[in-house]
Structure 1
Amino acid sequence: MPLLYVTDLAYPARGRRYGDEDIFLTSRLREHFGLALCHPRDARAMLALGFDAVVVRNSGPVLHYQQDHDAFRAAALAAGTRVYNPLTGRGDMAGKQYLLDLTAAGYPVIPTVDDPADLGLLPSVPTYAVKPKRGADSIGLTFTDRPQGAAGEILIQPRVDFAYEVSFYFVDDAFQYALYAPDPARRWELTPYEPTPADLDFARAFIGWNTLAHGIQRVDACRAPSGELLLVELEDLNPYLSLDLVAPEVRDGFVTALAQSLFAFLKA
């Protein structure tokens, strides 16, 4: 079963080593699949080579190669190419609209609007976070007491004085592990986190909402001053996994779950 594995091994991610993670993952997946690696800018052209599926992994923020990504996505959909994660994701894969949709639906998410005229729908706070709606990786993020910007092109959220951020990692709908950043100022200095049943119920609510039968997902949340968890992001396109920070047996379990998921995906 030949797979095309899309990654940017040289992407200079802050606090993360994309290349190391994907070198490890591909070395283990080669025990089960034939693999060819390519840069995200080359993925569209590589589709013609007839791979059984395309696995999109640490390919970096799409905004850095938006036209190439759009061309790949359109070609894959037109040809019926199997893409993992499937292109039906409702989280970051489809942009940031989900933050607005989840806010409107009453999910435990940092309240979000995309129009300064709707500021009254948010809690009144001294400072708001404003970022581009098509942004990623905190690119363009600013903090202000008077949010401004074109309606529909920005996201506005109250700045939350959270205790810490925590991420929950899933393969399909199966929880694998959790990591958290004890220091809010150091997002990627992570350590293992033991989730409570309530924490897992929180994370699983968003996995269920996303309705992906197969794929890797990361639910990013923050612990609000009131003690509740609030969703920060639902990463379903190419979430970094921080596999170097988990115990060997957890890492092995993740690889096993991923291989099983890919086999099931190819047979679906």
Structure 2
Amino acid sequence: MTSRVALVSSERGLRVDPDLPLAAPALREAGFAVDCVRWDDPAVDWAGHDLAVVRSCWDYAWRRAEFLAWADAVPRLRNDAGVLRWNTDKTHLRDVAAAGLPVVPTVWDPASTADLPDAEEWVVKPSVSAGSRDTARWTDPGDVMAHVAQLTAAGRTAMVQPYQASVDDAGEAALLFLGGRFSHAARKPPMLGRGEGVRQDRNGRRGVRPAPATPEQRELAQAVVDAVPSLLRGAAPLLYARIDLVADAAGRPVVLEVELTEPNLFLPQAPPEALSRLVRAVGDAIAA
């Protein structure tokens, strides 16, 4: 009997996600029936799918409660609802740091400039966000605190991190895992321009290119992926993960983002074998 897979997206994601036109045909060629659907489409019969795979659900950031309620109701979801609940709020970085893994230093809801991390530039973002929305890079501590005040006044948690200067030259290293195993890596160019303030139109896919991961980057990213089961007892194994790393002032890789909800997999920039790894990971999840 043919297994049916839902690749779950959003209204916009169905139109512009560059991974879907590669993932769906690869799964179909492997013998799966594939539906590309919106997570908020009431007509979808989730129980009729052997697996629902969260993909470009990019509107979750401003519909989080609704999104998580949906996830709780889907019987066979990867990544599963517990992972999504933890990962859709960046306060999960506290858990990653507490596990002994190096994370970009972060201050949560600073009350004054005295609370800011020691830096010449800072990044301010809400803990629930996607696509660098409501995020900015600042050189003036007063601008940092004004941005923090704007977020907290709206009932959001503000996070402040020192801007890592290495990003301007080296970008971010995005390491992709499929079925818990390293698949490929890419370089993400700088997204936050000095002095541009908050913007809502940044495109995290523009300028991404393949890039080899160093042994140190692979070791750290794998350690993050391997730590998730102990951080989330009872969660189903990860189908996919993207760990975004930057270099600190000493050149060492540190964790910037742990993307377990709806990360771009950068399949257009990936080697051909990445699609077979995705197909295998989906098959293994259905068989589990």
Cα distance in structure 1, aligned partners of 2:184 and 2:220: 14
The correspondence for 2:12, drawn from 10, 13, 27, is 10
Amino acid of the residue matched to residue 202 of structure 1?
Answer: L
- Are 1:61 and 1:137, in contact at CA under 8 Å, matched by a contact in 2? no
RMSD, matched Cα? 2.8
Counterpart Cα distance in 2 of 1:167 and 1:257: 17
For the 8 Å contact 1:126–1:145, the answer to whether it is kept is no
Matched, 1:203 2:207: no
Q: Cα deviation per residue 1:117-138 (whole Å; 9 max; x = unaligned)?
A: 4876764113322111212211
Distance 2:12 2:84 in 1: 28
Q: 1:193-251: CA deviations, max 9, x gaps?
A: 222222210111111112362311111111223211121111111111221123xxx22
Pairing of 1:109-128 with structure 2 (within 5 A): 109-117=103-111, 123-128=117-122
| Offset from partner CA, 1:165-216 (integer Å, 9 cap, x none) | 1100110221111111366669631222222222210111111112362311
Distance 1:49 1:209, change over 3 A: closer
SS of 1:226's equivalent?
coil
Letter in 2 for 1:139: R
**Could you say what secondary structure the match of 2:12 adopts?**
coil
Which residue is equivalent to 1:39? 38
Structure 1 stretch displaced more, 201-210 or 157-166: 157-166
1:238 counterpart residue number: 262
Aligned 1:69-80 pairs, distance under 5 A: 69-76=67-74
Any conservation in 1 of the 2:88–2:128 contact (CA below 8 Å)? no
Match of 1:54 among 34, 52, 55: 52
CA spacing shift, 1:75–1:182, aligned 2, 3 Å: closer
| Alpha-carbon offset, residue 152 of structure 1 | 6.6
Match of 2:22 in 1: 24
Give the counterpart letter for 1:23 in structure 2: P
Say whether the 8 Å CA contact 1:90–1:210 is kept in structure 2.
no
Secondary structure of the structure 1 residue equivalent to 2:242: strand
Amino acid in structure 1 at the alignment position of 2:120: P
Query: Can you give the 5+ residue segments of structure 2 that lack an aligned partner in the other structure?
Result: 194-202, 230-235
TM-score after normalising by structure 1? 0.83
> What is the CA distance between 1:90 and its match in structure 2?
7.0
Retained in 1: the 8 A contact 2:106–2:117? no
Out of 245, 252, 274, the position equivalent to 1:254 is: 274
Moved more, 87-96 or 220-229: 87-96
SS in structure 1 of the partner of residue 19 of structure 2: helix
What SS does structure 2 have at the residue aligned with 1:89? Answer: helix
Number of equivalenced pairs: 255
Residue 267 (structure 1) aligned with residue 287 (structure 2): yes
2:249 pairs, out of 219, 225, 250, with: 225
Which residue of 169, 177, 184 corresponds with 2:184? 177
- Percent of paired sites with the same residue: 24
Find the aligned partners of 2:210 and 2:125 in 1 and give their Cα distance: 29
AA matched with 1:33: F
What is the distance in 2 between the residues matched to 1:4 and 1:182?
31
The corresponding residue for 2:199 is none
CA contact (8 A) 1:90 1:98 kept: no
Letter in 1 for 2:141: D
TM-score, normalization by structure 2? 0.78
Cα 1:196–1:33 shift into 2, 3 Å = same
User: Following the alignment from structure 2 to structure 1, what is the Cα–Cα distance between the partners of residues 47 and 80?
Assistant: 19
User: 3-state DSSP class of the match of 1:169?
Assistant: strand
